[in-house]
Amino acid sequence: MKLETRAQADMKKALDLVSALEGENEEVKNIYGGLCHSFPILVRQSGLCQALAFSAEKARKEDNRGRAHRLLLEHVAQILGVKDPLQAVQQTDAIGYMHYTRRVLSAWVYFKRFAASVLGVHTGGRDEGE
């Protein structure tokens, strides 16, 4: 039996989650793709808890931006294996917080790549040809 590494599992999960956005409208995909690129920067600058709190606040809106932030939070929850990532991060100890941060940042590399390859969203937004 062949076991997959954590990186392989993260890559597969990221591909599945990002590919599932194909049915979303173009604006949601574009916003989500942009978030995939900016989220790790926000985590590094402000910390995972603050980055998740920011997205949770934005997710309250019933518009395309809110939908994109809800998707981001759902995807972080799947990576961490929790129901509510903000609550989980807020309630953990320092070691758990560091673990969650490392897990998100290591997995998010694949979300950024698939936002570019599957959704066509690069750091500056969507490709002009699309």
pLDDT per position as a tens digit, 42-93: 999 999 999 999 999 999 999 999 999 999 999 999 999 999 999 999 999 9
Q: What is the pLDDT of residue 123?
A: 65
How is 5-59 classified by DSSP, letter by letter? PHHHHHHHHHHHHHHGGGGS-HHHHHHHHHHHHHHHHHHHHH-HHHHHHHHHHHH
pLDDT at 22: 86
pTM of the full structure: 0.89
Give SS3 for 4.
coil
CATH of domain 26-120: 1.10.520.30
CB-CB contact of 88 with 80 (8 Å): yes
Q: pLDDT digits over 83-130, tens only? A: 999 999 999 999 999 999 999 999 999 999 999 888 888 765 443 333
Q: Where are the domains of the chain?
A: 26-120
